[in-house]
Amino acid sequence: MYIPREAEATLRHLVRGYPVVAVTGPRQSGKSTLVRHAFPSRPYVSLEDPDQREFAESDPRGFLDRLAEGAILDEAQRCPVLFSYLQTRVDERRRPGQFILTGSQQFGLLSGITQSLAGRVALLVLLPMTRGELRRAGKAADRLEEALFQGAYPPIFDRDLEPRPWYGNYVRTYLERDVRQLVNVRDLTVFQRFLRLCAGRTGQLLNLSSLASDAGVTHNTARAWISVLEASYIVHLLPPHHRNFNKRLVRTPKLYFLDTGLAAWLLGIQDPGQLATHPLRGALFETWVIAELLKTRFNAGETSNLYFWRDRSGHEIDLLIEQGTRLTPVEIKAGQTLNRDCFRGLEFWRKLAGDEAGPAWLIHGGDARQVRAGIEAVPWKEMDPARMLAPA
């Protein structure tokens, strides 16, 4: 079952304007399915196929001659020698939409683009599905705990799979393939422990020294492994906003997983019921909200404009959406009950920011919708990322 993706309209638009479009994102996020559904008549070649890859590496001109009218090249980073030949080919023909590349590794794909295809390629990042996509397909969870536990990777919903076994296989496949291609990991058990420790820190300031110590690796190894997780779209580092409003600010980014189902599996959560009282329920809910906003932003072909704000006195805003000169503050509360304390952080920050503050949002785990002192409190099921991200 194909679930329509919000990024399809953006993909079609980019293909009309650029000779090459690259679709990247984590493995199993639906890149190949999206591209093949949007352009079913295009020749499709997977460079994961050893025969196709050998042909492309040994005779790149002959390989591309077969595809004179353009093609979809899946996992293009597996054959970096092709990029310079693609440059020559698209420069000769000078027409949009010649090649669509997909790739799961940001390092490999982007390094090839930067070196050979700069100025000729548009980049589209496809993360797992949004709640809106799942809702329109009749697949969205009714309970918050279920939504957090399931995550949003397409195969779980396309094939009605149980999340836990699928995530277990995903991690093992990811460890065996992607990590070993990017860095020299001698002991996969240590890396899996590192992954689990990262999941336990989702929503927290990134402390590489602590993470390295707990995992039993060096600081430099921890830094390299975080870079791999970022490059593979497993985690996102949310930067602190630079505008200080006369306060001393925290300068360290916060670590977030890009899928709560994967984080839940790494945390050893067995079923949705455990999330009702789990100590990381709030962090996972915050992770879910931020991932929804990032997905919506990326689906529109945009880069992230999300930040957090925290000063050294302990004042914090979970999320700031930068929209020109204005900043939209967002607080995220997993609780089902709204009380006065839920609004205090937003009220403090809005006074501090003055005219630079955009509309304020409070996304919560309950069902009530209300407006207090100009702050719109929205239940998680009614969250509208496109409206929140719209220019203030």
CATH number of the structural domain spanning residue 264: 1.10.10.10
Residue 156 lies in a domain: yes
Q: Assess whether 22 and 82 both reside in one domain.
A: yes
What's the pTM value of the predicted model, to 2 decimals? 0.94
Q: Is the pLDDT of residue 126 over 90?
A: yes
What is d(CA 238, CA 106) in angstroms, rounded to the nearest whole number? 17
User: What is the average pLDDT across 279-305?
Assistant: 97
- The total of structural domains in the chain comes to 2
Q: What is the pLDDT of residues 67-94, one digit of tens each?
A: 988 999 998 888 888 888 888 888 888 8
Whole-number percent of the chain with pLDDT over 70: 94
Indicate which CATH number applies to the domain containing 112. Answer: 3.40.50.300
Q: Is the pLDDT of residue 112 over 90?
A: no
- In 3D space, the residue among 294, 291, 194, 233 whose CA is nearest the CA of residue 108 turns out to be 233
pLDDT band at 355 (very low <50, low <70, confident <90, very high): confident
User: What is the average pLDDT across 278-292?
Assistant: 98
Q: Assess whether 135 and 257 both reside in one domain.
A: yes
**Strand, coil or helix: what is 318?**
strand
Question: Picking from 48-57, 78-87, 246-255, which range would have the lowest pLDDT averaged per residue?
Answer: 246-255
- Among 73, 104, 125, the domain boundary falls at 125
Q: Assess whether 65 and 100 both reside in one domain.
A: yes
What is d(CA 202, CA 276) in angstroms, rounded to the nearest whole number? 17
- Among 73, 108, 125, the domain boundary falls at 125
- In 3D space, the residue among 360, 194, 200, 329 whose CA is nearest the CA of residue 264 turns out to be 200
User: What is the average pLDDT across 364-370?
Assistant: 93
Residue 362 lies in a domain: no
Residue 191 lies in a domain: yes
- Among 107, 125, 143, the domain boundary falls at 125
Q: Is the pLDDT of residue 183 over 70?
A: yes
Q: Assess whether 261 and 144 both reside in one domain.
A: yes
pLDDT band at 124 (very low <50, low <70, confident <90, very high): very high
Q: Assess whether 135 and 121 both reside in one domain.
A: no
For residue 91, what pLDDT is reported? 86
Residue 17 exposure: Cα atoms within 13 Å on the Cβ side: 9
Residue 86 lies in a domain: yes
3-state secondary structure 268-308: CCCCHHHHHCCCCHHHHHHHHHHHHHHHHHHHCCCCCCEEE
Residue 314 lies in a domain: no
Q: Assess whether 188 and 257 both reside in one domain.
A: yes
Q: Is the pLDDT of residue 369 over 80?
A: yes
What is d(CA 365, CA 128) in angstroms, rounded to the nearest whole number? 21
User: What is the average pLDDT across 234-243?
Assistant: 91
Q: Assess whether 138 and 242 both reside in one domain.
A: yes
- In 3D space, the residue among 377, 310, 307, 366 whose CA is nearest the CA of residue 334 turns out to be 366
Residue 293 lies in a domain: no
Residue 203 lies in a domain: yes
Give me the DSSP letters along 228-242.
HHHHTTSEEEEPBPS
| Measured CA angle at 257 (ends 251, 263), to 5 deg | 135
What is d(CA 241, CA 326) in angstroms, rounded to the nearest whole number? 12
pLDDT band at 242 (very low <50, low <70, confident <90, very high): confident
Q: Assess whether 142 and 266 both reside in one domain.
A: yes
Domain assignment of residue 100, given as a range:
7-125
Q: Assess whether 140 and 232 both reside in one domain.
A: yes
Q: Assess whether 252 and 227 both reside in one domain.
A: yes
The pair of three-digit structure tokens given for residue 99, joined into one six-digit string: 């090649």
Q: Assess whether 27 and 161 both reside in one domain.
A: no
Contact yes or no for 75/28 (Cβ under 8 A): no
Q: Which residues contact 49 (CB under 8 A, 6 or more apart)?
A: none
What is d(CA 314, CA 262) in angstroms, rounded to the nearest whole number? 30
Distances (CA, A) of 366 to 100, 142, 144, 345: 42, 12, 9, 19
For residue 373, what pLDDT is reported? 84
**Strand, coil or helix: what is 154?**
helix
Q: How far apart are the first and last CA of the chain?
A: 37
Q: Which residues contact 38 (CB under 8 A, 6 or more apart)?
A: 8, 11, 12
Contact yes or no for 272/149 (Cβ under 8 A): yes
Residue 264 lies in a domain: yes
Chain-wide mean pLDDT for the chain? 91
Q: Assess whether 136 and 109 both reside in one domain.
A: no
Q: Is the pLDDT of residue 308 over 80?
A: yes
